[in-house]
Every structure is written in C-alpha cells, then in structure tokens.
Amino acid sequence: MFRGLRAAWRRGEELFAEVALPEEASGEAGRFGLHPALLDATMHAAILNDSTGPDHEDDGGGTVIPFAWNDVSLHAVGAAAVRVRIATAEDGGMDIRVADVTGAPVLTVGSMVGRPVSTEQLGAVPGETGALYGITWVPDTGKGGADARWIPWSEVADAVGAVPDVVVLDCGAADAPGVSDGSVGVPSAVRSVLDRVLGVVQEWLAGERFAGSRLVVV
C-alpha cells in the first residue's frame, strides 16, 4: 500500500511526482484527511528530491527522514491520487504542494526539513541507547500506609503550608460531566480529564511544598 509513487521528474530545482493509492485501498481515502499511505508515498518523493537534488552530496549511504514540519495546511480531504510539487523553501527545507488530479489544492507544507540517518542508526537494536519511556517498579516508602494522611487535591491546590502524606486527585465519573447522559462523547471526556491531570501534575512537579508528599491519581 505504501508503494504509491508512480512517477517523478525534475525541472531545474523543482521536483514533480504522481502519487496514488492502490485500487483496493482507494475506497478508504475518505476516512482520512490525507491517507497515511498517500502522505508516506509523497515523502518518498521528498526523500528522492533530497538525495538526488542539485545540491546533494554523497553522505556515505545514509537516508533522509522528515524531521520538522512548518506551516502545514490541509485544504481538502479524501484524495486517492495526488500530484506533488517540491521546491526549496526559504529556510532551506522543502516547500511541498500537493494537489488532486484536477489541480485543486489538497495539502501545502511551507517547509519540511529532513535529517540524515545512517544505516547504523536504522539498524540499531531498541534499548541499546536507553528508552525514552519505561515502566519501573518503585517500592512503597511507607507514606501510603494505613497511618498516612490522605486528602483530596481540591483541599491543597490553593492552600499554603505543609502538605499531607498523600494527595488524591479523583478523576472518576463524577468529574466527567455529560458522559453518563450521553451529551459528551467519551473521547472528548477523556481529553478533558487528561488535560486536567496534566495541569495538576505540572503544578505538582513545580511546587517545592509537594516534594515530601505523594500524588495519587484515581
């Protein structure tokens, strides 16, 4: 499905390409703003442009992957086949224009900056350089025991002074209005709860008075 690059040609410093989904996947195009496989194949043209352009220098067999996206706008949805124009942006990145087969705009990218990756990096075994995220079991220090003082977050958020051993942030159904009666969709409610938790965690980590306490999110 991701082999959608049908043709590519160059005019000076501009690269043009035709990209299309395979026939069996074209019916899925309407499910996305821009079908992931179609965008991926467009990036194949961008990589081709970066590796064969007039200013290209041999980097010893590395490849280029998208790194930073700027000024991205989606103008239409549901395209199953597109035409791509790639030129050099003012910041040295790639100015990418994607249109449908009639020429109507689908996607514009003011600048997409690629970054070279070596063959060694692509073949690295996960974990060799350490995981960005991980799960670690941390033994309880005893502050969560039966003798610990537990208090709701609402009672300490705006207070000053000492903080009890354990502070509870309750994000149960009572804090997600509209879910039980169906007026708010579950995804929206989840985003709302996560936004609240993120705010509390940021405040917790920034507050020195919380250093000796434990935050429990329910």
pLDDT in tens, 93-152: 999 999 999 999 999 999 998 888 887 777 766 655 566 677 788 776 655 556 677 888
Whether 17 is covered by a domain: the verdict is yes
Q: What is the CATH number of the domain that holds 62?
A: 3.10.129.110
What percent helix, strand, coil does the chain show, rounded to 5? 30, 30, 45
Whether 203 is covered by a domain: the verdict is yes
- Spatial contact of 48 and 41, defined as CB atoms under 8 Å apart: no
To which H or E segment does residue 166 belong?
strand 166-169
Whether 144 is covered by a domain: the verdict is no
Whether 128 is covered by a domain: the verdict is no
- Spatial contact of 64 and 114, defined as CB atoms under 8 Å apart: yes
Q: Which residue has the higher pLDDT, 177 or 162?
A: 162
- Regarding whether 167 and 115 lie in a shared domain, the answer is no
Q: Which residue has the higher pLDDT, 69 or 187?
A: 69
- Regarding whether 26 and 100 lie in a shared domain, the answer is yes
> Of 102, 122, 142, which residue is a domain's last?
122
- Spatial contact of 96 and 105, defined as CB atoms under 8 Å apart: no
- CB-based contacts of 98, cutoff 8 Å, min separation 6: 34, 42, 79, 82, 83, 84, 105, 106, 107, 108
- Regarding whether 68 and 156 lie in a shared domain, the answer is no
Question: Taking CA 9 as the corner, what is the angle to CA 7 and CA 12, rounded to the nearest 5 degrees?
Answer: 165
- Regarding whether 165 and 116 lie in a shared domain, the answer is no
- Regarding whether 14 and 69 lie in a shared domain, the answer is yes
- Spatial contact of 16 and 87, defined as CB atoms under 8 Å apart: no
Identify the three-state secondary structure at position 21. Answer: coil
Q: How many structural domains compose the chain? A: 2
User: What mean pLDDT do residues 3-19 have?
Assistant: 92
Whether 30 is covered by a domain: the verdict is yes
Average pLDDT in the chain: 82
CB hemisphere CA count around 76 (13 angstroms): 16
The two structure tokens encoding residue 194? 């996560």
Whether 21 is covered by a domain: the verdict is yes
Whether 129 is covered by a domain: the verdict is no
- Regarding whether 188 and 102 lie in a shared domain, the answer is no
Whether 37 is covered by a domain: the verdict is yes
Q: Each residue of 48-93: pLDDT tens digit? A: 766 555 455 554 556 778 889 999 999 999 999 999 999 999 988 9
Single pTM value for the model: 0.54
Per DSSP, 206 falls in state: H
For position 133, what pLDDT does the model report? 74
- Regarding whether 83 and 180 lie in a shared domain, the answer is no
Q: Which domain holds residue 33?
A: 5-122
CA distances from 204 to 143, 156, 199 (A): 17, 11, 9
Give CA torsion, residues 23, 25, 26, 27, to 10 deg: 120
Strand blocks (E) in 60-104: 63-74, 81-88, 94-100
- Regarding whether 98 and 23 lie in a shared domain, the answer is yes
Nearest alpha carbon to residue 15 among 103, 98, 107, 81: 98
> Of 103, 122, 141, which residue is a domain's last?
122
Residues 79, 83, 88, 89, CA torsion sign: negative
> Of 75, 105, 122, which residue is a domain's last?
122
